[in-house]
Amino acid sequence: MTPFIKQVNRLWEYQEDASYLEVQIGKRQLEHEIEALTLLEVKPAALVYKKVVDGKADERIVFDMYEDKLRKKPGFQPIIVGLKSVSFIEFDSLIEMTLVTLEGEEYVYFLKK
């Protein structure tokens, strides 16, 4: 029984680390994505940006929740998976992003506007 308990504990630690790593990678990907975009609007559960395409009409880029993912639209590009919720609050020069994972872990990050 003891080896089984040790193995379960290792799996639990791995799951927590994997969840944290997923959030960290996704946060960095989101930061990279928004670097070249212009912020239009911060909604409680979405960020709306614009992108100039070939010097023509602006394309709207939206980051919002879909099922258990923070995704990028148009299209369907998952940025962070395994989320219960995401919320955004706009400040003068920053955006506060709060993520709650399916495991109930909460992470708060600040994004540049």
Summarised one tens digit per residue, pLDDT across range 60-74 is: 999 999 999 999 999
Place of tokens 């395409």: 53
Residue 78: partners with Cβ closer than 8 Å, 6 or more residues away: 69, 70, 71
Single pTM value for the model: 0.79
pLDDT tens track for 91-113: 989 999 999 998 888 999 999 98
Q: What's the angle, vertex CA 53, arms to CA 49 and CA 54, rounded to 5? A: 155
Instruction: Please state the length of the chain.
Output: 113
